[in-house]
Structure 1
Amino acid sequence: MLIDSHAHLDSTRYAEDRAEMLRRAADAGVGAVLSIGIGENPLEMHQALDICREYNGQPGMPQLYSSAGIYPHSTVDADEATLAKLDSLLAEPEVIACGEIGLDYYHEGAPHDLQRKMLIAQLEIAAARKRPILIHCRPKDNTTAAWDDLFVVLEEHWQHTGLGGIMHCFSGNYDQARRSLDMGFLCSFAGQITYPKAQDLRDVAAKLPLDSVLVETDAPWLAPAPLRGQRNEPAHVVHTAQTLAVLQGVLAEELGEATTKNFQRLFRLAPFMGN
């Protein structure tokens, strides 16, 4: 069994076939999906939870969990009411994580100081609700400023909680990966690990302990190499898992079992039936 640890199930790109897409995931061996609650703006944070409640319990579907958070570039649209909404969402039992939150210095958008301020505010809410966090960190080109600033914030405002989290769509170097693990994070790898030019990232993934990694799609984006350019969906996490299994030197079944246990351990979830 596999878990897709990061998918944007509320994307309008699934509007016409969301149920069928979820059934394809289950048929591919995906037992659970973490539905990311950032929406197109903070007013849509609740949509991921709505999807969980709509589809959980239906036959032939994976188990769905939800997150809620304010994306770095959406921080310009955030205010006290937005933070209060986040707090209320994190109180819901299906909402097991705060995110994706973090820093994005790649695109021109929210000022960096505002991103850091709102990240800290969300860390405080997540800590009070005892929810692990999902971190988005994207530096500009080959600079390290985003990572450097992120670690400063996490060391001061998060590490002491012991709640940990996930470095979503990890694309950093080995030192950044090790630093993340030392702070209680798991590194989650998406479809880009399958791309021909991603050898540096594959080298990092190969060095990490098996109990520190996850797989994800970041669907509908980042379809793995065999399907690159197409709309991504949770069923396609199988391709990423196969690549990561080779890098880790284990069978695909062992990789699936390990990443599932890693996910359950982080979020303190009971094992699934048959797991």
Structure 2
Amino acid sequence: MLVDSHCHLDFPDFAEELDAVVDRARRAGVGRMVTICTYLSRFDRILAVAERYDDVLCSLGVHPHQAAEEIAGVSVERLVELSKHPKVIGLGETGLDYFYDKSPRDVQQECFRRHIRASLETGLPLIVHTRDADDDTMRIVREEAAGQPVNGLLHCFSSGRQLAEEALDFGFYISLSGIVTFKKSEDLRAIVKDVPLDRILVETDAPYLAPIPFRGKRNEPAYVAHTAACVAGVKGVDEAEMARISTENFFRLFPRAGSAEQAVA
């Protein structure tokens, strides 16, 4: 069994064949999919997808690209209240994106801080997006945590070794997307080689970042198998073992998701 820990099934890319996309994932051995919230104002759409399928879970949060547009409606109290729905297993995706800077950096940071505070209050893990913002990402997490444990992951990891080490030292997990399969990703694969097996998750970020051999096409949850196979090769384990380990890691990080035994029952 595999888990696609990060996809966007509510996106228009899937609207006309969502049932078929989910069915292909199941036939590829994907037992759980997490459809990720990027607009708090559109959470009802996310929840509708999650409620439609027993094997789809969801998150709650605001992407840093949307922080300026959404910040007025983002409060710790609202995040805490909406996160009570049993399909919600994590908070995000949240974080910082200084590559595109689609929202002012101070607004991104404030939005991120509110998600961290909600995580501390609820115990739900953070799903962190970070791009060209390595130093500020972990600094803000540490500041808000103030010595308290915060669970979370760095999604679609493609940053440098220092951020990976800091995140791992803090207790975070590293989630790997199709980027790890790209020919140009030698540096990323070198970092992955040193990430402990018990801290690795896999994801698609579908419809984006399709792995080799589908690069350039629309991504979908079934393709997480190709990412997991690549990671297995980097880590020197067989594909079945990588599937087992990454699935166990997912359920350890996201206890509200249940267990692998429940997923295959």
The two structures have a TM-score, normalised by structure 2, of: 0.94
Give the gaps of 5 or more residues in structure 1.
57-62, 140-145
Give the corresponding residue for 1:60: none
Query: Cα distance, 1:80 vs. partner?
Result: 4.6
Give the corresponding residue for 2:93: 100
Give the corresponding residue for 2:194: 207
Tell whether the 8 Å contact from 2:115 to 2:126 is kept in structure 1 after alignment: no
The yes-or-no answer on 1:67 pairing with 2:59 is yes
Give the corresponding residue for 1:114: 107
In structure 2, C-alpha distance between the alignment counterparts of 1:163 and 1:272, rounded to whole Å:
26
Give the corresponding residue for 2:239: 252
In structure 1, C-alpha distance between the alignment counterparts of 2:254 and 2:143, rounded to whole Å:
22
Tell whether the 8 Å contact from 1:34 to 1:66 is kept in structure 2 after alignment: yes
Tell whether the 8 Å contact from 1:37 to 1:99 is kept in structure 2 after alignment: yes
In structure 2, C-alpha distance between the alignment counterparts of 1:189 and 1:80, rounded to whole Å:
32
In structure 2, C-alpha distance between the alignment counterparts of 1:31 and 1:231, rounded to whole Å:
21
Tell whether the 8 Å contact from 2:251 to 2:259 is kept in structure 1 after alignment: yes
**Alignment-mate amino acid for residue 156 of structure 2:** C
Give the corresponding residue for 1:262: 249
**Alignment-mate amino acid for residue 54 of structure 1:** R
The yes-or-no answer on 1:52 pairing with 2:50 is yes
Tell whether the 8 Å contact from 1:42 to 1:74 is kept in structure 2 after alignment: no
**Alignment-mate amino acid for residue 255 of structure 1:** M
Query: Cα distance, 1:86 vs. partner?
Result: 3.0
- Report SS of the residue matched to 2:62: coil
Give the corresponding residue for 1:78: 70
Tell whether the 8 Å contact from 2:157 to 2:175 is kept in structure 1 after alignment: yes
Give the corresponding residue for 1:42: 40
Give the corresponding residue for 1:33: 33
Residue by residue, what CA displacement relative to the aligned partner does 1:87-131 show, whole Å, maximum 9, x if unpaired? 332111110100000000000321111111111112112221211
Residue by residue, what CA displacement relative to the aligned partner does 1:183-205 show, whole Å, maximum 9, x if unpaired? 11110110011111110001111
- Bigger mean CA deviation after superposition, 190-199 or 158-167: 158-167
Give the gaps of 5 or more residues in structure 2.
none
- Report SS of the residue matched to 2:206: coil
The yes-or-no answer on 1:240 pairing with 2:238 is no
Query: Cα distance, 1:67 vs. partner?
Result: 0.2
Select which of 166, 183, 197 maps to 2:153. Answer: 166
**Alignment-mate amino acid for residue 103 of structure 2:** A
Pairwise mapping of residues 178-197 of structure 1 onto structure 2 (< 5 A)? Answer: 178-197=165-184
**Alignment-mate amino acid for residue 120 of structure 2:** A
- Report SS of the residue matched to 1:155: helix
**Alignment-mate amino acid for residue 260 of structure 2:** P
Tell whether the 8 Å contact from 2:74 to 2:111 is kept in structure 1 after alignment: no
Residue by residue, what CA displacement relative to the aligned partner does 1:237-267 show, whole Å, maximum 9, x if unpaired? 0110010000000000000000000011111
Query: Cα distance, 1:31 vs. partner?
Result: 0.7
- Report SS of the residue matched to 1:93: coil
- Residue identity over aligned pairs, in percent, reads 37
- Report SS of the residue matched to 2:213: helix
Tell whether the 8 Å contact from 2:34 to 2:57 is kept in structure 1 after alignment: yes
Distance 1:159 1:202, change over 3 A: farther
Query: Cα distance, 1:160 vs. partner?
Result: 3.4
In structure 1, C-alpha distance between the alignment counterparts of 2:222 and 2:115, rounded to whole Å:
31
- Bigger mean CA deviation after superposition, 162-171 or 238-247: 162-171
- Bigger mean CA deviation after superposition, 80-89 or 123-132: 80-89
In structure 2, C-alpha distance between the alignment counterparts of 1:171 and 1:271, rounded to whole Å:
27
How many residues align? The count is: 261
Tell whether the 8 Å contact from 2:71 to 2:111 is kept in structure 1 after alignment: no
- Report SS of the residue matched to 1:152: helix
The yes-or-no answer on 1:271 pairing with 2:260 is yes
- Report SS of the residue matched to 1:13: helix
Tell whether the 8 Å contact from 1:191 to 1:223 is kept in structure 2 after alignment: yes
- Report SS of the residue matched to 1:6: strand
In structure 2, C-alpha distance between the alignment counterparts of 1:136 and 1:85, rounded to whole Å:
21
Query: Cα distance, 1:159 vs. partner?
Result: 6.6
The yes-or-no answer on 1:134 pairing with 2:127 is yes
